[in-house]
Structure 1
Amino acid sequence: MYKLQNDDLLCKKCIFQKEKLFGYIDKKNSVTMATLGPEGTTSSETAKVFKKYIEDINKLADLKINLYDSFELAINEVHKRSADFILLPNAYGKMTNFYWDTTIELGFVFTNKTPEYGIAMLDKKNLYDKPTLTISTCKAVEHLLQELMDTTEFKNKSYEIVEANSTTKSLMLLEDGKVDLALTNDTSLKNSKAYFISNTKYTDVLWSIFMLKTS
């Protein structure tokens, strides 16, 4: 079996970028990471994982997490130097825009398991008589909708999709009474009266951290 060596060309590039990012953190100590919010999104939970990772390595490091309504708003904060890094999943539909942004560079990549995703509801008593249900979801997990709906008692109902910016915003639409059901994750449900009525699903996702390009 082939063993990856430190002088491997691909490995060397990864190590160089990691050392550059970590060196920046070591030098500054107090840094800010921007990502998608609000609290409870998969991005915010993954940011906490990276925060713990960094602060375990460097006891002097203090990584602050700032949450925004979109990744585009988050990267604007990096461009304005109000944040040092942006964290986003490679599964994001507009990820290519970040790779082709010549003002930033890839600093680090890692995999992290997502929370459990499922279809949540608050009150089903008024749903049986509705010919069509409304379901909120963010674009990144919209493809899971039919699969998860098929595990609910409403699997034979037709539905209309209402798009949300994140899994947490999807839940908020349900709590505000704007939709009948919401595709969300279990971290968003922590402080909610909503509950899953479908099977749940998770996966491993590759995450990227970008920083402003330096010479």
Structure 2
Amino acid sequence: MFPEMYSDPQARYSIWMERNPQPLGFLTSLCEHGRVRISTRGPDGTSSAAAARHIGSSADGDPPLLLRDSYEDAAEDVAAHRADCLVVANAYAGINRFYISKKLVLATAFPFMTPPYGVAIRRDAKRPENTFKLATHPAPRHLINDWFTVQQLSNLVVIEASSTSTAAKMVDAGEVCACITTEPARRKHKLAFITQTVRIPILWSVFVSTNHKIFLWST
């Protein structure tokens, strides 16, 4: 069973939104001066991509989305004005380099429920019983303690992946037997969940360039 903290994240998310109805209101100002370009870590199917699309839906139209190999690469898009916004999960261990930066400044933050996470295997594969490899991004790795018994954990070999989407790709390619991944990545690679899924409320930060025109408009 999952801990109490996962029991009703949607309720906590709804309460936050009631108290902060327009955390992304600054996007409206950006839209008045052209399309908003958003950069974040990819590939498609990650929680970061879903969060970026979420704030994109708050803008007018369908803003261009740049999906990079890392948040650092996405930050360079903003610094070089190839993108207007950088979206980063506050759970990211290296987020301090964006808060403490001469090139970037925090514009806003918002909560966003991740897509469902679960353990997935290929649809034509049997549920693993003996020793098997499982790919996962480091962030949700601790969830395996809730999905597997002590005996199953003793048969588990964890392989680190750069993203939940990459983990799903590794299963699809036959490199590993299972993975912790998101619902969008599961669908993309035609996998099947073999555990219950969980959605996690995460705070996301949005950064813009220190000399971005949004600050000039307010002066």
Tell me whether the two structures share a fold, i.e. TM-score over 0.5.
yes
Q: Determine the C-alpha separation between the residues in 2 that align with 1:53 and 1:208.
A: 15
Question: Which residue in 2 is equivalent to 1:175?
Answer: 172
Q: Determine the C-alpha separation between the residues in 1 that align with 2:209 and 2:153.
A: 49
CA contact (8 A) 2:24 2:110 kept: no
Question: Which residue in 2 is equivalent to 1:141?
Answer: 140
CA contact (8 A) 1:138 1:170 kept: yes
Match of 1:189, SS?
A: helix
Shift of 1:192: 2.8
Match of 1:54, SS?
A: coil
Give me the identity figure in percent. Answer: 27
Question: Which residue in 2 is equivalent to 1:193?
Answer: 190
Q: Which runs of 5+ in 1 are unaligned?
A: 1-13, 56-60
Larger mean Cα displacement after TM superposition, 184-193 or 89-98? 184-193
Q: How big is the alpha-carbon RMSD for the aligned residues of Structure 1 and Structure 2? A: 2.4
Please tell me whether residue 115 in structure 1 is matched to residue 115 in structure 2.
yes
Q: What is the total number of aligned residue pairs between the two structures?
A: 190
Q: Which runs of 5+ in 2 are unaligned?
A: 1-19
Question: Which residue in 1 is equivalent to 2:46?
Answer: 41
Larger Cα Rg: Structure 1 or Structure 2?
A: 1
Question: Which residue in 2 is equivalent to 1:8?
Answer: none
Change in 2 beyond 3 A, CA 1:41/1:20: closer
Question: Which residue in 2 is equivalent to 1:66?
Answer: 66
Shift of 1:54: 1.6
Q: Determine the C-alpha separation between the residues in 1 that align with 2:51 and 2:203.
A: 11
Matched to 2:141, the amino acid is E
Matched to 2:171, the amino acid is L
Matched to 1:138, the amino acid is H
Shift of 1:166: 1.2
Match of 2:185, SS?
A: coil
Question: Which residue in 2 is equivalent to 1:23?
Answer: 29
Change in 2 beyond 3 A, CA 1:34/1:40: same
CA contact (8 A) 1:114 1:203 kept: yes
Match of 1:205, SS?
A: strand
Q: Determine the C-alpha separation between the residues in 1 that align with 2:25 and 2:127.
A: 56
Shift of 1:97: 1.4
Match of 2:190, SS?
A: coil
Q: How does 1:201-212 map to 2 (within 5 A)?
A: 201-212=198-209
CA contact (8 A) 2:135 2:170 kept: yes
Q: Deviations over 1:177-211 (max 9, x none)?
A: 11111000111112333111112111211111100
Change in 2 beyond 3 A, CA 1:155/1:107: same
Match of 2:65, SS?
A: strand
Q: Determine the C-alpha separation between the residues in 1 that align with 2:142 and 2:55.
A: 27
TM-score (norm 1): 0.79
CA contact (8 A) 1:41 1:166 kept: yes
